[in-house]
């Protein structure tokens, strides 16, 4: 298994995990190494320096793919993408306003765009809070375009240009301030959904949305594809506040999508653009504000994590909590799922990347120490482990496939016997 992580120091790291080495086996080896190092230090002579290596769990390899420690270049969002030539890449959005595309193979920077005046000082009041810094709340990239959104409601849909500062084929939208999350549709890069504090869920298509025609951010002159309505008033007939913390498209429908959102008020809500503007499901599933969600592509299930480090799984058909995942010490910042949907990875403020069984007993299978607080995790589905059992099975299958069938052997015996009979008759 291979993962790519981004962190608050501006580094992109690769993490290789050997699926054949269990967590228990790795912990036993690590404990033995700690004892051996302690014994070597105790038996060392006066003035003798004992050199010890970092206590890294067996079966894990963490390496730096791109970047150096620089908190001004902290990575706020990361997305797997492909370059113009089809090369697998990672697109990252940095604290200083840069959008950068990095090769997965070489770690080379292939493209950089710097958002103008991203770090310019400002101060505005919104929803009873003062906002004084601009940050990215979402990033999506393909082989031709990227979509980036900030908490100030600024959305840029732009094609890669030859010039780093080129605004070629760019759509600049100014939406509502205090956005918390933007997500791009997997099947259509121009389709995105956005929401935030006192900002209802809206779905836009950057290719069809029109503005006043200026080269700066401007309010759209066309209506969004979908705009949600707030839930009904509570039992005191008071308005329910809006705070969308994360969202994700559930299906492949690009005209009337189904979207799951999480809120800072402990709910998971499901919106069906074809049915109604209010949520079709509204479940309170946590005791704490929910930070991140991930919809499974294999089952009708949804992973969610709150700000207390709890990672849980909910059934999208009933809203019932299926189970949780233990061992996480800090808030989860990112969740990733394996290609077959049987494993889930989580990382965050405690600097550990953990891999769990998605179903079953929800056991922790592997763990890797990243050293920095992780902001995003990407599971590399293209990188597969060499499983010896699969290799042996393929060899056995090839032997059986190349082995002659019993029918052909019987036919050859019959032909041989008929030939012998013919020879005997001719001799007589």
* pLDDT tens by residue, 391-410: 456 667 767 677 766 555 55
Question: Could you state, in order of their start, the residue ranges of all structural domains in the chain?
Answer: 68-391, 392-427
Beta-carbon count within 10 A of 93 CB: 29
pTM of this structure: 0.83
Q: In CATH, what is the architecture of 68-391?
A: 7 Propeller (2.130)
Report whether pLDDT(54) > 80.
no
Mean of the per-residue pLDDT values for the chain?
Answer: 86
pLDDT score recorded for residue 66: 94
Could you tell me which residue, 26 or 152, shows the higher pLDDT?
Answer: 152
How would residue 19 be classed by pLDDT, with cut points 50, 70 and 90?
confident
How would residue 385 be classed by pLDDT, with cut points 50, 70 and 90?
low
Taken in order 16, 20, 21, 23, the sign of the CA dihedral is positive
> How many helices (DSSP H) and strands (DSSP E) are in the chain?
3, 30
Report whether pLDDT(62) > 60.
yes
DSSP 133-202: ---EEEEEE-SSEEEEEETTSEEEEEE--SSTT--TT-EEEE--SSEEEEEE-SS-TTEEEEEEBTEEEE
Residue 290 and residue 283 in contact, taking contact as beta carbons nearer than 8 Å? no
pLDDT in tens, 125-184: 988 889 999 999 999 999 889 999 999 999 999 998 744 445 556 899 999 999 999 999
Q: What is the mean pLDDT of residues 179-207?
A: 94
How would residue 211 be classed by pLDDT, with cut points 50, 70 and 90?
confident
Report the C-alpha dihedral over residues 182, 185, 188, 194, rounded to 10 degrees.
-30
Report whether pLDDT(384) > 50.
yes
How big is the CA angle at 124 (ends 120 and 126), to the nearest 5 degrees? 135
pLDDT score recorded for residue 391: 47
Q: What is the mean pLDDT of residues 302-328?
A: 93
Report whether pLDDT(255) > 80.
yes
């Amino acid at each position: 298994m291979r993962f790519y992580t981004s962190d608050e120091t501006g580094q992109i790291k690769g993490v290789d995990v050997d699926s054949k080495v269990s967590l228990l086996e790795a912990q036993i080896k690590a404990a033995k190494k700690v004892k051996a190092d302690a014994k070597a230090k105790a038996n060392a002579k006066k003035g003798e320096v004992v050199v010890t290596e970092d206590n890294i769990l067996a079966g894990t390899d963490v390496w730096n793919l791109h970047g150096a420690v620089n908190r001004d270049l902290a990575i706020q969002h990361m997305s797997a993408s492909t370059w113009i030539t089809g090369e697998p890449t990672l697109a990252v959005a940095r604290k200083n306003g840069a959008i950068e595309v990095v090769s997965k193979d070489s770690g080379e920077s292939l493209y950089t765009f710097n958002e103008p005046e991203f770090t310019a000082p400002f101060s505005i009041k919104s929803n009873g809070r003062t906002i004084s810094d601009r940050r990215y709340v979402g990033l999506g990239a393909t082989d031709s375009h990227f979509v980036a959104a900030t908490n100030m409601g600024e959305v840029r849909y732009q094609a890669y240009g030859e010039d780093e500062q080129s605004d070629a084929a760019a759509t600049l939208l100014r939406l509502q301030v205090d956005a918390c999350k933007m997500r791009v549709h997997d099947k259509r890069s121009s389709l995105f959904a956005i929401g935030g504090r006192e900002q209802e869920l809206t779905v836009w298509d950057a290719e069809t949305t029109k503005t006043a025609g200026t080269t700066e951010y401007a309010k759209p002159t066309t209506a969004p594809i979908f705009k949600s309505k707030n839930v009904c008033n509570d039992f005191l007939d008071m308005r329910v506040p809006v705070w969308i913390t994360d969202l994700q498209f559930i299906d492949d429908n690009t005209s009337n999508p189904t979207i799951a959102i999480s809120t800072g008020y402990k709910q998971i809500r499901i919106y069906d653009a074809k049915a109604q503007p209010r949520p079709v499901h509204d479940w309170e599933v946590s005791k704490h504000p929910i930070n991140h969600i991930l919809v499974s592509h294999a089952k009708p299930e949804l992973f969610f994590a709150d700000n207390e480090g709890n990672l849980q799984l909910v059934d999208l058909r009933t809203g019932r909590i299926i189970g949780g995942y233990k061992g996480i010490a800090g808030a989860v910042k990112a969740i990733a799922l394996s290609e077959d949907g049987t494993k889930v990875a989580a990382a965050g403020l405690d600097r550990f990347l953990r891999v769990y069984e998605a179903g079953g007993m929800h056991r922790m299978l592997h763990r890797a120490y990243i050293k920095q607080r992780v902001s995003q995790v990407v599971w590399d589905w293209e990188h597969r482990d060499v499983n010896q059992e699969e290799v042996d099975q393929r060899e056995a299958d090839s032997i059986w496939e190349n082995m002659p069938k019993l029918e052909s052997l019987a036919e050859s015996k019959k032909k041989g016997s008929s030939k012998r009979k013919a020879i005997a008759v001719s001799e007589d």
